[in-house]
Every structure is written in C-alpha cells, then in structure tokens.
C-alpha cells in the first residue's frame, strides 16, 4: 500500500512540475491548449526532455574511484573505462574519464606494486581523454611508513587529496562511479 502511495505521489509531483514549467515558461496559448488537449502536456514534456538531452551532448565526464588494493577491482575499473570509451566512440560522442586512487587503491598507480601498469600504459596511449590521479596525501603517508620514496607510473598525475579531487569533479557536474 505504501509503495503504491509513494509511486502515486512521485507521478503527481512530476506532473505538477511539468505543468508549472509549461505555465511559467509557455505562452498563454500553450497553457490553454494544454488544458484542453491532454496530449499537449506529453508533447511539451517530450520537448523539454529533448532540450535537456541536447544540452548534455558536450563531452560525457566520469570520475572513477579506486580505494582498495585489489587487482579484481582495478581490472573492473579499467573494464568500465574500456566499455564506456567504446560505447561513446560508437555513438561519435566524446567522453572524459578521470580515475582517482587513494588509500590502498594507490597501489594501482605505484610503479613498484601495480598489477595493472601495463594495461594502464596501453589504455593511456589509446585514450588521451583518460586521466589517472594519485592522492598526494596517501603517497606521503606511504613514504613515511615505508621509509622510502613511492614511485608512481608515468601516467599518474598527483593531486593533493584524492577525496577532495572526487568531490571537486562531482561539483563540476562529473558523473561518479565506484566499481
């Protein structure tokens, strides 16, 4: 019963938003025609959806988060990258992807411990829109713990804080994925 009620409230809310948008942004004529012709509401809603879709045709942007030292997760993240690049490539659309590592996930970008460094090298050469960011805080802590400099692969760029970088990307409208 509560699911039905929640669904009904959700549908009613969407309908109310659509009607208010039409009455606020449409002409008096379109408001009258919407009231007299139920199909006009659907046409206006579809037009709004089409306009919103066309605005997102710039490059798709995705931030991917790896924070575990697990080769399976690292390979899953790289598989996600490959699938996304292939999908949008087939559509003729651009995509930018930034893979951010921190904590134990930094091992993905460490030159001495990465189980996927050869794959990262090949993917970086094939996909210039792909960026790998390494958390500077994590690297600094690992340097202190291990008592030596932590080497990163050449494809990695250092960001002050991996968590902050993910937050900033999301604030800039990037989509977020944690495999």
**How would residue 58 be classed by pLDDT, with cut points 50, 70 and 90?**
confident
User: pTM of the predicted model, to two decimals?
Assistant: 0.69
d(CA 129, CA 85): 9
pLDDT tens string 100-141: 999 999 999 999 999 999 999 999 999 999 999 999 999 999
Query: 170 CB contacts (<8 Å, ≥6 apart)?
Result: 63, 176
Say how far apart CA 105 and CA 100 lie, in whole Å.
9
SS3 content of the chain, % helix, strand, coil (to 5): 60, 15, 25
């Amino acid at each position: 019963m509560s699911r039905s009620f929640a669904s009904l409230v959700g549908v009613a809310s969407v309908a109310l938003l659509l009607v208010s948008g039409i009455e606020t942004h449409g002409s008096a004529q379109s408001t009258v025609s919407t009231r007299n012709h139920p199909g006009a509401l659907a046409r206006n809603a579809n037009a709004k959806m089409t306009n919103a879709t066309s605005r997102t045709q710039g490059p798709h942007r995705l931030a991917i988060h790896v924070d575990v030292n697990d080769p399976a997760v690292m390979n899953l993240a790289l598989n996600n990258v490959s699938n996304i690049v292939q999908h949008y490539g087939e559509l003729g659309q651009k995509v930018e992807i930034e893979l951010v590592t921190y904590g134990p996930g930094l091992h993905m970008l460490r030159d001495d411990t990465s189980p996927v460094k050869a794959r990262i090298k090949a993917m970086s050469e094939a996909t210039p829109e792909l960026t790998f960011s390494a958390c500077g805080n994590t690297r600094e802590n690992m340097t202190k713990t291990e008592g030596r400099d932590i080497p990163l692969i050449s494809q990695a760029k250092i960001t002050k804080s991996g968590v902050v970088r993910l937050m900033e990307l999301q604030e800039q409208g990037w989509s977020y994925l944690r495999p």
